């Protein structure tokens, strides 16, 4: 958080991250699992507990997401919000 604030104040942008390589990485898997755990293993839209996915609300912090940048959704709700 402090590093993000410092980057913001200095106008330093985080290096670009290759989305597809990142989504296949262990770092993303860990972050997505934490998102699901924090959501109580339930979709934040409909409450289902199967087919859960971590959804990026935006991509500004790709590779350096805060948990508030992510939302736990089931596959159907993820598809609906991604249209």
CA within 13 Å, CB half, 7:
10
d(CA 41, CA 37): 5
Q: pLDDT tens for residues 68-81?
A: 999 999 999 999 99
What's the pTM? 0.77
Higher pLDDT, 4 or 48: 48
Helix (H, G, I), strand (E, B) or coil at 52: strand
pLDDT given at position 4: 64
């Amino acid at each position: 958080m402090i590093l993000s604030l410092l980057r913001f104040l200095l106008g330093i942008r985080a290096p670009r991250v290759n989305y597809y390589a990142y989504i296949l990485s262990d770092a993303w898997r860990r972050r997505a699992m934490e998102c699901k755990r924090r959501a109580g293993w339930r979709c934040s839209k409909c409450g289902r507990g199967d087919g859960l996915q971590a959804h990026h609300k935006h991509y500004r912090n790709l590779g350096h997401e805060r948990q508030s940048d992510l939302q736990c959704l089931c596959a159907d709700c993820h598809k609906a919000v991604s249209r």
